[in-house]
């Protein structure tokens, strides 16, 4: 492959919006293991939230996909490959990017923890309001200074 062809392929990978209209590959080999990527992403996205038991699996999948993307990009940048191999690498990288975008944009991962945090914040705001309304929000002292 000529150097200018390599640069064109790399530009396609890094282009803003490269994943628009891209499809997630059905199956991809990640760290030497085949992964039904399309099925995995849509199985996770079908749920409103990622259950606690699945969170680690999703995070590990994202880590492995990032590593695989980096390895494929390195092959594209430095490898002795043909134009056709380069095209396949670009399509795979863009598909991985599409999958990563889908996995990164999942909803809240734990509704119970989020609800507890909101409740705690509400209580804190309420207590702050009460202290201020009752005149007790002066650094812990109830004394009023004389002028």
CA distance 84 to 101: 26
Same structural domain for residues 12 and 56? yes
Q: For 46-94, how does the pLDDT look when each residue is reduced to its tens digit (9 = 90+)?
A: 876 776 777 888 888 888 899 999 999 999 988 888 999 999 999 999 9
- Domain range enclosing 131: 110-140
Ramachandran sector of residue 144 (left: φ over 0; alpha: ψ -120 to 50; beta: rest)? beta
Give backbone dihedrals phi and psi of 37, rounded to 5 degrees, phi first.
Answer: -65, -45
Q: For 28-43, how does the pLDDT look when each residue is reduced to its tens digit (9 = 90+)?
A: 888 788 888 888 888 8
CA 16, 18, 21, 22 dihedral sign is negative
Residue 146 lies in a domain: no
Q: For 89-130, how does the pLDDT look when each residue is reduced to its tens digit (9 = 90+)?
A: 999 999 999 888 888 877 554 556 667 778 888 888 888 888
Same structural domain for residues 43 and 96? yes
Same structural domain for residues 55 and 89? yes
Same structural domain for residues 38 and 78? yes
Residue 145 lies in a domain: no
- List the structure tokens of 89: 């690498």
Q: How many structural domains is the chain composed of?
A: 2
Same structural domain for residues 98 and 33? yes
Same structural domain for residues 105 and 123? no
Same structural domain for residues 102 and 125? no
Same structural domain for residues 79 and 133? no
Contacts 24+ apart (CB under 8 A), 113-118: none
Pairing assessment for the beta strands 33-35 and 28-30 based on DSSP bridges: antiparallel
Exposure string for 104-123, b = 16+ CB within 10 A, e = fewer: eebeeeeeeeeeeeeeeeee
Same structural domain for residues 86 and 135? no
Residue 32 lies in a domain: yes
Query: What is the pTM (predicted TM-score) of this model?
Result: 0.65
Same structural domain for residues 7 and 49? yes
pLDDT grade for 144, boundaries at 50, 70 and 90: low
């Amino acid at each position: 492959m000529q150097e200018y062809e390599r640069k064109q392929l790399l530009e396609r990978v890094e282009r803003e919006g490269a994943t628009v209209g891209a499809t997630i590959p059905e199956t991809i080999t990640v760290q030497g293991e085949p992964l039904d990527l399309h099925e995995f992403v849509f199985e996770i996205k079908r749920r409103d939230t990622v259950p606690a038991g699945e969170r680690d699996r999703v995070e590990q999948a994202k880590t492995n996909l990032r590593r695989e993307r980096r390895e494929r990009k390195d092959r594209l940048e430095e490898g002795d490959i043909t134009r056709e191999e380069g095209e396949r690498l670009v399509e795979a990288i863009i598909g991985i990017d599409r999958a990563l975008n889908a996995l990164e944009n999942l909803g809240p991962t734990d509704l119970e923890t989020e609800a507890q945090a909101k409740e705690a914040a509400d209580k804190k705001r309420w207590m702050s309001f009460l202290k201020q309304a009752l005149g007790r929000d002066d650094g812990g002292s109830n004394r009023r200074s004389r002028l």
